[in-house]
Amino acid sequence: MRFSLLVLLGVGLLLSAAGFAFQDKPQTPIAAPNAANSGQAPISNSSPNPQRIGLNVVVLDPAHGGTDLGARGTEGIRESDVVLQFAAQLKRALEGQGFLVIQTREGNEDPSFDDRSARVNAQRGAIFVSLHIASTGLAGTARTYVLADFPPANDTTGLIPWDRAQAPFTGLSHKLGDMVQAQLAQRFRGSPPAAQVAPVRQLRTIAAPAIAVEISSVSVENRADLDQMIPGVAEAIARGVADFRPSYLLPVTPGAATGAQP
Amino acid sequence: MSPKWRVWLAGGLLGAVIAAALYFPALRRQVDKAKQITEKTAEQARRELLPPTPVTSGDPKVKAKMFWGSKSEDGSLEAVNVELPLSKDPVLRAKQILNTLLAGPVDLESRTLPPDAALLAFYILPDGTAIADFSEALATAIPSGIQSEQLAVDSITRTLEANVPQVQRLRILIHGQEVETLAGHLDLTQTIPVSTAAPAAPARSGISVLTAPIEKAIEKVTGSAKH
């Protein structure tokens, strides 16, 4: 009797240990969508008739938070606060377009770059929009940023290294960025007509089309000027994302999940 | 206590309150002024500790092209020709150029780098990769934002491209250390292409013949910063 109990206890402990081991290392590789750079839906070699997934999820990233206040204006305007309001407005506009919206932060916390990336890399059919308020620039303008094309790492396993997760998606990111910026330029005079290229750290570890939108600025004399601008920016981004929706088609290989390898 | 003493006491207290009300704002101004002077002195002391960039009298004066912020177009750079005595040695030349860029333009609104930032060290590797080590002020005193950080880095790379053709790529360190971003936005973990003809930055993950000399140079800078 005692022996049986000991054996049961041992098996239980082993199963628990195995469970923890799998939780600690969530290997969630995806087949690299190599053709995504051209803006076309890629074709996987491993599946002759791959299922295709469209764009369903938008991950919003209100930048900064916690002790990192971001840009600060002379009138006490703090970027970390304003981007939360900005995200709330944009969430409503995107939900109105039928998207599921997830935020990297809802309150005054400051997730790391990798934690924010993990939120979107765990989704299927998602894009990533990082929201910023600048401390410089012509007041009342908005700019969209994307990463420049960079070569994916030569990995024979087909896995995407975490620190180069954006590499296969830059083509789609540019397309999304241009569509969003076209909408912003229509509404906000002085804004550039197309997305600009900048090595924004947050975008590098995103395994999905990813953009950063920055509006100017926290240096306005009256906070109301910024508050008035935000609904228009939210509407422009939501329209740009809706315009991009038909361009976003990625293959799903059987047994593969989205997400880059950390 | 007699009424006379009460009057004297009340008068004395009132006088003390008035004197304090007059004195405290003046005292606060003095403390603020002293604080500013102390900060300035610390920055000056640090600058004085840096080895000066040697300018030999034989260096010919040439027209250098500096990239500072444009006054007419928001978020872009403008080339300004400045006559400077520049060394033929690419490392010395790059130091002279970057120090001029840091000193800033005549019009302070066109400044792209914080006035307190200083260049601590500069190396060029045989493959054309340059390592520029700046003081912490470059990261802490720059206005926060993608646009302002991008302008700062672009002004450095475009000025180097125009004046020091030997530099193909640039790696920026802050006080001898690799940092993830300049001030929360711009990625500094990768080498930045300076020359348009330069090949793409090597991957950080994986083995690369190009990363090895960079790592060695960073170790050298980090080591010198620690001592």
Domain ranges of chain A: 34-252
Instruction: Confirm or reject contact between A214 and chain B (CB < 8 A).
Output: yes
**By C-alpha distance, which of A78, A189, A209 is closest to A132?**
A78
A34-252: CATH class: alpha beta
Choose the closest CB to A136 out of B147, B181, B184.
Answer: B147
The whole-angstrom distance between A1's CA and the closest CA on chain B is 55
Asked if the Cβ–Cβ distance from A134 to B192 is below 8 Å, we say no
Instruction: Decide: A175 and A228 in contact? Cβ < 8 Å.
Output: no
Per-residue pLDDT reduced to its tens digit, B130-166: 999 999 999 999 998 999 999 999 999 999 999 999 9
Residues of B with CB under 8 A from a CB of A: 74-75, 143-148, 150-151, 180-181, 184-187, 189-190, 192, 200-201, 203-206
Contacts of B90 (CB under 8 A, 6+ apart): B124, B164, B166, B167
What are B32-73's pLDDT values in tens digits? 777 665 555 555 555 555 555 555 557 788 999 999 999 888
Q: Which pLDDT score is estimated for A36?
A: 39
Alpha carbon of A98: minimum distance to chain B alpha carbons (Å): 30
SS3 of B51, please? coil
What pLDDT score does B67 carry? 96
What one-character-per-residue DSSP string does B108-140 give? GGG--S-TT--EEEEEE-TTSEEEEEE-THHHH
CB of A175 within 8 Å of any CB in chain B? no
* DSSP assignment string, B180-197: SBSSSSBB-SSPEE-STT
Taking a C-beta distance cutoff of 8 angstroms, is the pair B180, A113 a contact? Answer: yes
Q: For residue A196, what pLDDT is reported?
A: 96
Q: Which two tokens stand for residue B147?
A: 């646009």
Q: Is the pLDDT of residue B83 over 60?
A: yes
> Does B205 have pLDDT greater than 70?
no
Q: Using a CB–CB cutoff of 8 Å, tell me whether A154 touches chain B.
A: yes
Rounded Cα gap, residues A147 and B186, in angstroms: 11
> Mind spelling out the 3-state secondary structure of A18-43?
HHHHHHHCCCCCCCCCHHHHHCCCCC
Cβ-Cβ contacts under 8 Å for A78 (sequence gap 6 or more): A69, A70, A71, A72, A218
- Weakly modelled stretches of chain A, pLDDT under 70: 1-52, 154-155, 250-262
What CA–CA distance (Å, rounded) separates A165 from A262?
A: 9
Cβ contact A201–B201 (<8 Å): no
> Pick from B143, B180, B203: which is nearest to A136 by CB?
B143
Asked whether the beta carbons of A79 and A72 are under 8 A apart, the reply is yes
| AA identity, residue A189 | R
How crowded is residue A21: how many other Cβ atoms within 10 Å of its Cβ? Answer: 9
- Give me the residues paired with residue B119 across strands: B134
pLDDT at B203: 42
A216 touches chain B (CB under 8 A): yes
Q: Is B95 helix (H, G, I), strand (E, B) or coil?
A: helix
At residue A161, the pLDDT reads 86
Of the pLDDT bands very low, low, confident and very high (cuts 50, 70, 90), residue B219 is low
The pLDDT of residue B200 is above 80: no
Specify the pLDDT at position B49. 54
pLDDT at B197: 60
CA distance B70 to B90: 27
Q: Give the gyration radius of chain B's Cα atoms.
A: 25
CA distance B122 to A205: 30
Q: Which residue of A has its CA nearest to B206?
A: A153
Helices B90-103 + B146-163 axis angle, to 10: 140
Which of B52 and B98 is assigned the larger pLDDT?
A: B98
Closest chain B residue to the Cα of A205, Cα to Cα:
B187
State residue A111's pLDDT score.
Answer: 96
* Per-residue exposure over A223-249, b if at least 16 CB sit within 10 Å of its own CB, e if not: eeebeebbebbbbbbbbbbbbbbebbb
Q: What is the DSSP code string of chain A? A: -HHHHHHHHHHHHHHHHHHHHHHH---------GGGGGTSPP--SS-SS-EEE---EEEEEE--BTTB--SB-TTS-BHHHHHHHHHHHHHHHHHHTT-EEEES-SSS----HHHHHHHHHTSSSEEEEEEEEESSS-TT-EEEEEPPP-PPP--TT-PPBGGGTTGGGHHHHHHHHHHHHHHHHHHSTTS-SS-EE--BHHHHT-SS-EEEEEEE-TT-S-HHHHHHHHHHHHHHHHHHHHHHGGG--EEE-TT--S--B-
pLDDT in tens, A168-179: 999 999 999 999
- Among A residues 179-208, those touching chain B with beta carbons less than 8 Å apart: 190, 192, 198-202, 204
β-bridge mates for residue A261, sequence order: A161
Tell me the backbone φ, ψ of residue B222, rounded to 5 degrees. -60, -45
Question: Torsion angle, CA of B125/B130/B133/B138, rounded to 10 degrees?
Answer: -170
Distances (CA, A) of A185 to A144, A189, A225, A229, B129: 10, 6, 18, 13, 38
Q: Do B148 and A135 touch (CB under 8 A)?
A: yes
What is the rounded distance in angstroms from the CA atom of residue A116 to the CA atom of residue A128? 10
